[in-house]
Amino acid sequence: MNAHTSKALLQDAFYQVLDNKVFRILVILSICLIAPTFLIAFKPTELDVLFGWQTFKYSELGVLGAGAAATKDAHIAAIQGLQDIFIEGLAGTFGIMLSLAATAFFVPRMLEKGEADILFSKPAGRFVLLFARYLSGIVFVGLLAFVLVLGMHIGFLVRSGYSDPAFLWSALTLVYVFALIHAFSTMVGVLSRSSITALLMSILFFGFNGCVHNVLWLNKEHAVTQIHERIEASDSAEAKETLEQMDAPLLQTLATAIDVTHYVLPKTGDAAFLVNNLRRAVSAPDFAFEDPVGELRFAKEPEGFVRSGWSGRTIDLSTTTATWTSVIDSSNISASRRTRVNDKTSSGAPKRARSSSTSAANELVKTLNSQPEIVKKAERARDPFDRLVRDLVTWSEKRGDTVVQRQRAFLGLGNWLFEFDFEYDDAWVARGGDVDALQEFVSGARPDGSSASSLDADKWYAKQFGWTSPLRYNAFFSILSSLAFALIMLLIARWKLSRIDF
């Protein structure tokens, strides 16, 4: 096939797409999705609708990811929430389904008597002509994805000043997902030579495929990992029993069947995780520092304090105590981590147990209140917030001639207990200091663990999935095995096409 033929086939694909009524409807729908990004400005604290006509505080809305305001700017959370809804939700499911419906007839119609006779009598290989039709479908979705993603990107950039280059990859992943399912549709189209069959089978396959990966396999993996984590953490008899139940032949067969189906079918569900991976790689980190071993991230440093004796974005708080000193006096804040797992012997059998942040706080209160230098008795308060429970102990102690105000926050996460200390003198407030500095700092702490027990299935898988992960969670494996599936579909179509008598 020469360049002229390729160009003519591409041109034909383009004309076919532009002529398609469903394509035109989808372009209009895409414009409807893009329009709000130009009409609504996502400002740091509020939404500005129609150039100041109406404004809404994020706290009043309580949606669009504003809950993540503590870890990053609320308007960015809202924009990313919208991008996820529009691209992954609407375009990634309904958009793909509509595109499948609109393109399912491309191949069967080409194989109908009359059109096939004239087309396949030309000196171009049968597969070349089939592949051109397959490409038509990809052009169809490629144009739509390009319009939608670029339009939204420009809208957010112009009106909200937000630009996330990784978001542009969403267009590619939409095309990628469609290309995988469209290969199946092409194969069915050749085998059945019926538009209706190709349409129904493609949509059913899309649904089934999503169900296998995003529901069955992902939840199975999450549940199994959770059980193993529980066994490892507490050695509980209950967890062991669950594991034994999982060894039942029926469950084993079911798990194997889910695994095989997952590995064979194209992993369309991974597309969203691919975008997130790219987004993470391209975007600046949205945290100030992290303790990777303790799996805790901090959105910000203590306000009005500077680091003392350490630097960088990562720190192991079990070996290094992070310290900050006030910019106005010698007041300081420190953070450290220790294990909270204790090995006990219960009725003759060894048993592992975790102590809670509350028990650690109570123990401190007890110890402090028995000491003579304590001026104001220690008190404990609880501060539950977003899956993390913090216990705060406050007291005053005499140190020489001065009275020092103390605060210690305890935070339990996994097998670790984090401790945050804050000490300041009586003149701290007079000098402009903030007595809530510790609480504000600790409120920016977010678990960033990869343990199945601490995350829901989606978030857990997002953590596992990566370019260097083990094979079952590996991004390269996901892409290559999915492309292999598409290739096999096209090869079957090619084989069948070569045997058709028109």
Partner 1 sequence: MTTSDSILEVRDLRKVYKKGLFSKSEVAAIDGVSLQVGRGSVFGLLGPNGAGKTTMIKCLLGLVRRFEGEARLFGLHPDDPASRRKVGYLPEAHRLPGHLTGRQVMHLFGALAGSSPEDVKKRVDPLLERVDMMKAADRKVREYSKGMQQRIGLAQALVNDPELVFLDEPTDGVDPIGRAAIRELVTDLKNRGTTLFINSHLLMEVEMICDRVVIMHKGRIIRQGTIDELTPRTGAVRFEIGSVPTNLKEILAGVGADFALDGHVVSLKVNEAELDQAIDRLRSARISIRSITQRRATLEESFIGLVQKGVQ
Determine which residue in the list 45, 253, 371, 498 makes contact with partner 1, applying CB under 8 A: 498
The residue ranges of DSSP E strands in 281-401, in sequence order, are 289-291, 296-298, 305-307, 322-326, 332-339, 341-346, 349-354, 374-385, 388-399
CB of 451 to partner 1, least distance (A): 55
CA distance linking residue 412 with residue 338, whole number of Å: 10
Residue 502 binds partner 1, judged by CB under 8 A: yes
**Residue 143 beta carbon to partner 1: minimum distance, rounded to whole angstroms:** 15
Query: Binder to partner 1 among 67, 89, 125, 466 (CB under 8 A)?
Result: 125
User: How many residues line the site for partner 1 (CB under 8 A)?
Assistant: 33
From 121, 345, 346, 370, residue interacting with partner 1 (rule: CB under 8 A): 121
- Residue with Cβ nearer partner 1 (385 or 495): 495
Question: Distance (Å, rounded) from C-alpha 384 to C-alpha 174?
Answer: 40
Cα–Cα distance for residue pair 303/383, rounded to 1 Å: 20
| Window 78 to 117, contacts with partner 1 (CB under 8 A) | 112-117
Site mask for partner 1 (CB under 8 A), range 14-53, x = bound = -xx-xxx---------------------------------
Looking at the Cβ atoms of 118 and 349, the one nearer to partner 1 is 118
Q: Are 394 and 407 in contact (CB under 8 A)?
A: yes
User: Whole-number minimum distance, CB 498 to partner 1, in Å?
Assistant: 7
Residues 280-339 that bind partner 1 (CB under 8 A): none
Shortest Cβ distance from residue 126 to partner 1 (Å)? 9
CB within 8 A of 312, min separation 6: which ones? 289
Helix (H) or strand (E) holding 118: helix 115-120
C-beta of 15 vs 385, nearer to partner 1: 15
Q: Which of 120, 131, 263, 287 binds partner 1 (CB under 8 A)?
A: 120
Q: Which stretch binds partner 1 (CB under 8 A): 11-19, 46-54, 303-311, 411-419?
A: 11-19
Long-range contacts of 377-384 (CB under 8 A, 24+ apart): 382/358, 383/409, 383/439
Comparing CB distances to partner 1, the nearer of 124 and 150 is 124
Among 2, 345, 370, 468, interactor with partner 1 by CB under 8 A: 2
Q: Which is nearer to partner 1, 20 or 481 (CB)?
A: 20
Of 24, 57, 63, 122, the residue at the interface with partner 1 (CB under 8 A) is 122
237-246 vs 249-264: helix crossing angle, rounded to 10: 70
CA pair distance 267, 144, nearest whole angstrom? 22
Interacting residues of 339 by C-beta distance below 8 A, sequence separation 6+: 318, 415, 416, 417
Per-position DSSP letters for 220-238, written without gaps between them: HHHHHHHHHHHHHHH--HH
Nearer to partner 1, 124 or 374 (CB): 124
Residue 131 engages partner 1 in binding (rule: CB under 8 A): no
Taking the C-alpha atoms of residue 334 and residue 424, their distance in angstroms, rounded to an integer, is 12
For the chain, the first-to-last Cα distance in angstroms comes to 22
Q: Which two tokens stand for residue 488?
A: 């096999």
DSSP class per residue in 159-218: II----GGGGHHHHHHHHHHHHHHHHHHHHHHHH--HHHHHHHHHHHHHHHHIIIIIIIH
Which of 16, 80 has the CB closer to partner 1?
A: 16
8 lies in the binding site for partner 1 (CB under 8 A): yes
Q: In DSSP terms, which residues pair with 334 in a beta bridge?
A: 323, 421
Q: Which is nearer to partner 1, 17 or 47 (CB)?
A: 17
**Positions in the binding site for partner 1 (CB under 8 A):** 2, 4-5, 7-9, 11-12, 15-16, 18-20, 112-125, 129, 498-502
